Every structure is written in C-alpha cells, then in structure tokens.
Structure 1
Amino acid sequence: MSLRIEPKEMAEVLIKVRKMALAQDMSIKLGKSLLMSGDLYPSDIVPVLAPNKYGNMALFPMSWGFSHKATPKLIANCRVETADTKVMWRDSWYRRRCVIPASWYYEWGYPVYENDNHSLIEHQNNKKVKFAIQNESSDITYIAGLYRYEEHGSMKVPMFAILTREAAGTVRDIHDRMPLILDKENVKKWVRPNGDPSAIVEKALSNMVFEKAVEYPRFPPETITA
C-alpha cells in the first residue's frame, strides 16, 4: 500500500506542516524530504492528525512505519483485529490514535472486468494492476492509524502505522485487505485520547471507488509547490 496526497487539494495542510520546527528537525535527523505530497511510501514524513497536549485534534508531521528489532523493514500496517491485544500496538490503540488525510491510496490487485465471470484462477494468471482507491463521497480519504514515539539518535520521532481491516464493498474485487477509513464526523472522535476505538471501528466506511492508477513522476522537492 502507498498513499497519494494531491498538492492542490491539501495545500493549506502542507504549507502549515512544512513550516513546523518538528518537521524541520525530523527532516534533518531522518534524512527525509519535507515534500509530503504526491506518492508517499513507508519511511516518508506525512501530515497526520493527532491530539495535542490538551487532547484536541491538531496537525503534526509523522514518519510512516514502526520499527522493530526483529526486522530491518518498517512495519507500516497494523491489523485492526489484533490491535488491542498485540504488544506492539496495544498501548497506541488505547492511548495514541491518529488519522492520515490523503487524496487516495494505492493497492495492487487483479484486473476487474465488467460483468466479470472469470474464475479466481483466471484472475491470478493475470498480472496485477495498481489501483487508486478513495472514499466515494469526499475529496479527502481519512485513514485511521496508530502512533508512538521512537528514539532516533537524540530525538523522539513520532511514527505512525495504518490500521487495516478485511476488505469490504467493491474493494473485495481487487484485494483482501483495506485501510480503516473514517467519515469526517468520526475523525475527531477517533483522535480523542479518551474515545472508544472499538465503537468507531464499527462505523468505518466501506463504499470506495477505484480506477487503474496513473503513474506520476516523483519530482525533486524543490520543483514542487503546495
């Protein structure tokens, strides 16, 4: 899975986050760009909604992916079914929840045909296709996540992971998992530290629209403006 943030749709957010001292420090410490738009991948710095010290929703830069001593790869996703029990996720599930606003997300799946009567084996004989998937009723797709702070050198860096669930609706035609996607009304409830995450999960959106993804070039940061 990867994310897409369209600069024009989220210009105000991008401008605000790029100016933050935390974002500047993270960029230097992690050696990562503050582009934060276009196609985004694990290890990138991303604009994220999370509670501030007063418990109110605010905007922060965060790095995508939890680290773990058992693997050199970042752990970018967390299954919602086990988030409240697994040691890596449990504390964040109850105390540190966040939302990643994106234009859409990408997933690889098998081609979908109109009036499809292809068997699963026939689908699997085809080459996978990259799909762009988004909330059907909004320009912004609000993706639920968890976050924590990790020591990187002398700095505590906020890191997030995306919650995934069993695919629902039309997404089931192309993949067996999908992000946990919230409607705008539940974003603040999810982020609130004393909220009930299990209750909000029950209200997750399932109606998505998708199309074959367009491959965009990844321009150097200095050529991009919000």
Structure 2
Amino acid sequence: MCGRYYVDDETAREIEKIVRQLDRKLLIKGEIYPGQKASVIARKKGEAVLRQMEWGYPAPQNKGLVINARSESALQKRMFSESVMNRRCLIPAGWFYEWDRDKNKITFKPEGRQGMFLAGFWKYFSEGNRFIILTTNANASVRSVHDRMPLILDEERSRAWLEDEKMYGQLLGLKPDIRLEKEGFMQESLPL
C-alpha cells in the first residue's frame, strides 16, 4: 500500500525528463496525503503535461477514499479498468512512506537517484480529476516493513506507461527491481 509520499525540489528535475515544458506553478511540494491535491503527469493532446489532481476515488457508499489499486487485478476491476486502459498517469515522488507493525513511519528513497515515478491512473469526477496509485508485491527493499509497495517505473518504462497502448498490460505485471534505501523512523503514536 502507499498512503503517503513526498515531493521535493529534486523531484522537479526528474519531472523535466518526461515533461518538456514544466510549469513549476503546478508542482505541489511537501508531504502528500490522500484527499489532497497533488501533481501528476498525464497526456494531453499527445504530450506529457503536469496537472493537479486530487488523490483518491470516492469509495462506494461514501466510505472514504480508494487511494491504491493492485496492479495485478486493476484491469479486472470495473471501478478501475477503463481508467487503466485510457487515462494512465505518473505520480512523481522523491520518496514514499510505509508504517511498520509498531506504527513507525519508515521512509523509502530510491538508491542513487533523486526521485521516482509511481504508476497510476485517473478519472474525471464532478468535483474534478482524481488519481489512484498502483501497488504491487513488495520487493526485498520493502518486504520487511510491508507486503505491498507502489509500482515504480524508471524513465523509459514511465514513457511507455503514458504512451504505449500495447505495453501497459506488461508493465502492470512488473516487479520493481529498484533498490530503495530505508531511512529511520518517526514514531507516530505513543506506546500504551
């Protein structure tokens, strides 16, 4: 699962590898939470552009937000399939967080890189565009903390995710081979 991530100044440099003309006014920096507006890369008239969207689809029966979708089953889910096929996006992030069993906040950063692209998709709702982050089985870097992680794409695969109408199905089955550094923790709750 991915329930929070961070965008910093270095993330803008990564975005410029995909988006030719970056409008920095659209870049939302800081810690990004579900329900918050965030910067995503989507296609518009054949070009990759930075847009602002809200994180999470409204859940059925108004029970909160759906913020993640399993990459291995997203195409089979009625709620997601049309968006995955037609409205894929990239979520730029400097790092993401997971919480361990003791509710410690663990930071995961790409080793030797300034940022990363998380695979996602979006949909238009009456109140605006909203996106979801795809998750996959955790790799060795994350597995000791959580069994799921975001579907992370390198620059080449990121372009294919946005542009290639045939390749996206293969990318959904990708097991991220990126090495992630696990950094310290911040206790979010006090022991009882």
Question: With structure 2 as the length reference, what TM-score do the two structures score?
Answer: 0.83
Which amino acid in 2 is paired with 1:136? E
1:151 alignment partner AA? S
- Structure 1 residues 142, 204: closer, same or farther in 2, change over 3 A? farther
Which consecutive aligned stretches of 4+ in structure 1 deviate over 3 angstroms post-superposition?
Answer: 10-13, 201-204
2:81 is the counterpart of 1:106: no
For the 8 Å contact 2:137–2:175, the answer to whether it is kept is: no
Structure with higher helix content: 1
Q: Where does residue 190 of structure 2 map in the other structure?
A: none
What is the distance in 2 between the residues matched to 1:136 and 1:211?
11
Q: Find the counterpart in structure 2 of residue 91 from structure 1.
A: 82
Map of 1:40 onto structure 2: 32
Q: Retained in 1: the 8 A contact 2:152–2:176?
A: yes
Whether the 8 Å CA contact 1:95–1:193 is kept in 2: the answer is no
CA contact (8 A) 1:146 1:162 kept: yes
Aligned residues of 2:35 and 2:55 also touching (Cα < 8 A) = yes
Aligned partner of 1:3 in structure 2 is 5
Q: Specify the code of the residue in structure 1 equivalent to 2:28.
A: M
- Give the 3 Å change call, closer, same or farther, for CA 148–18 of structure 1 in structure 2: same
Q: Distance in 1 between matches of 2:35 and 2:151?
A: 20
- Residues 43-73 of structure 1: CA deviation (Å, up to 9, x unaligned): 11111111112x2221111110011342331
2: distance between equivalents of 1:109 and 1:212? 11
Deviation at 1:197, TM superposition (A): 1.4
Provide the residue aligned with 1:223 in structure 2. none
- Residues 1:165 and 2:136 are matched in the alignment: yes
Query: CA contact under 8 A between 1:106 and 1:132: conserved in structure 2?
Result: yes
2:129 and 2:184 map into 1 onto residues whose CA distance is: 33
Q: Distance in 2 between matches of 1:57 and 1:42?
A: 23
Task: Report the counterpart of residue 153 of structure 2 in structure 1.
Answer: 182
Shift of 1:82: 1.2
Number of paired residues? 177
When residues 137 and 201 of structure 1 are mapped into structure 2, their CA distance, relative to the original with a 3 A threshold, is: farther
Deviation at residue 109 of structure 1 after TM alignment: 1.1
> Match for residue 41 of structure 2?
49
Give the alignment partner of residue 18 of structure 1, picking from 7, 21, 25: 25
Q: Distance in 1 between matches of 2:146 and 2:51?
A: 30
Alignment of 1:189-204 (within 5 A): 189-192=160-163, 194-204=165-175
Is the partner of 2:64 in helix, strand or coil?
strand
**Residue 198 of structure 1: SS of its match in structure 2?**
helix
Q: Does 1:75 align with 2:66?
A: yes
**Distance in structure 1 (CA, Å) of the matches to 2:66 and 2:40:** 17
The two structures, once aligned, show a CA RMSD in angstroms of: 2.1
Q: TM (normalized to structure 1)?
A: 0.71
Structure with higher Rg: it is 1
Give 1:145 deviation, angstroms: 0.5
